[in-house]
């Protein structure tokens, strides 16, 4: 994963960033991104909170209804907006330069996404079968199908935003300043893991979930450096979250758009922990599949 020659394509993402590689630009940019994200989300949530005044028990931040889940996922678009503003003001870069050449970005996204869909279908027919207990139907199939196009767009907004920030703005800014992949792959992945560390929700599994997120970040960063665009990383992230949010979701949070709910929660120290290890293996296989798809 750390062969410099394998990362030569990454240079096309760094040309403009190298012109202004100072670390203060990255730090100030993150302040701008966070400030815009919090401010715009506060306005959005205040408006939505008024609309849901008679249904406060649904909980906006938990996003356990279809509407609140859509709102929360779409709100990640403010993160992308923040990156676009910070990159333009501090590095004189466009959002397009962070994504990579558009035609190549789209082609690589489709190559990886198509391969991962095929992998997912294959894995569906392989053991282990079942999740230990029967799944709970969350939405009627007709409702789920009606919502699916909008749901998929919302997940794409959310996953793209995280990739644009971590594998885009942060990784590229660090790579423009430091040669070692240990820094520009490792640090964004640690920050990505920190953002997913939530002991209040995941309980005893909090550290394991954070480690899972860190490994995912490392693999997504590796794909980005090999491909020279964010297409493959977004495709892998989008595929992962589509399954986890739209098909079979955990019941506590971001479950409003899922067809089925798992029979255990995020703080479950038994079954969830076992399935997290299965998910680790699936993540590695997905990364290898993505790498093979990019060679075609």
Q: Could you give the CA distance from residue 200 to residue 267 in angstroms, rounded to a whole number?
A: 9
Are the beta carbons of 132 and 268 closer than 8 angstroms?
no
Are the beta carbons of 98 and 172 closer than 8 angstroms?
yes
Helices 231-242 and 102-124: crossing angle in degrees, nearest 10, is: 30
User: Token digits for 187?
Assistant: 């640090």
pLDDT in tens, the chain (296 residues): 455 678 999 999 999 999 999 999 999 999 999 999 999 999 998 888 887 775 554 455 556 788 889 999 999 999 999 999 999 999 999 999 999 999 999 999 999 999 999 999 998 887 765 656 688 899 999 999 999 999 999 999 999 999 999 999 999 999 999 999 999 999 999 999 999 998 887 788 888 889 999 999 999 999 999 999 999 999 999 999 999 999 999 887 788 999 999 887 776 766 777 777 888 889 999 999 999 999 87
Please tell me whether residue 244 adopts helix, strand or coil conformation.
helix
What pTM, to 2 d.p., does this model score?
0.93
Q: How far is CA 48 from CA 51, 64, 146, in A?
A: 5, 14, 22
Q: Could you give the CA distance from residue 166 to residue 80 in angstroms, rounded to a whole number?
A: 11
């Amino acid at each position: 994963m750390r062969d410099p020659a394998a990362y030569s394509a990454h240079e096309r993402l760094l040309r403009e960033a190298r012109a202004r590689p100072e670390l203060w630009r990255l730090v100030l940019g993150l302040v701008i991104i966070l400030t815009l994200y919090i401010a715009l989300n506060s306005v959005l949530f205040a408006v939505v909170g008024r609309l849901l005044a008679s249904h406060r028990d649904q909980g906006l931040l938990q996003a356990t209804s279809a509407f609140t889940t859509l709102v929360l996922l779409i709100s990640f678009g403010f993160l992308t907006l923040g990156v676009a503003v910070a990159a333009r003001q501090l590095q004189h870069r466009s959002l397009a330069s962070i994504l990579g050449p558009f035609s190549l970005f789209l082609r690589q996204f489709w190559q990886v996404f198509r391969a991962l869909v095929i992998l997912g279908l294959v894995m569906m027919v392989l053991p282990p079968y079942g999740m230990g207990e029967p799944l709970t139907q969350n939405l009627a199939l007709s409702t789920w199908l009606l919502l699916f196009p909008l749901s998929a767009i919302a997940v794409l907004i959310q996953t793209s935003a995280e990739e644009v920030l971590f594998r885009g703005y942060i990784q590229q800014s660090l790579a423009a300043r430091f040669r070692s992949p240990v820094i520009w792959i490792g640090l964004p992945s640690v920050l990505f893991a920190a953002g997913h560390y939530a002991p209040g929700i995941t309980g005893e599994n909090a550290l394991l979930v954070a480690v899972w997120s860190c490994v995912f970040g490392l693999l997504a960063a590796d794909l980005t450096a090999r491909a020279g665009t964010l297409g493959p990383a977004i495709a892998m992230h989008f595929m992962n979250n589509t399954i986890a949010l739209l098909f079979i979701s955990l019941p506590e949070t971001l479950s409003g758009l899922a067809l089925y709910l798992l029979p255990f929660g995020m703080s479950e120290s038994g079954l969830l922990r076992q399935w997290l290890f299965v998910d680790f293996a699936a993540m590695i296989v997905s990364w290898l599949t993505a790498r093979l798809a990019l060679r075609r």
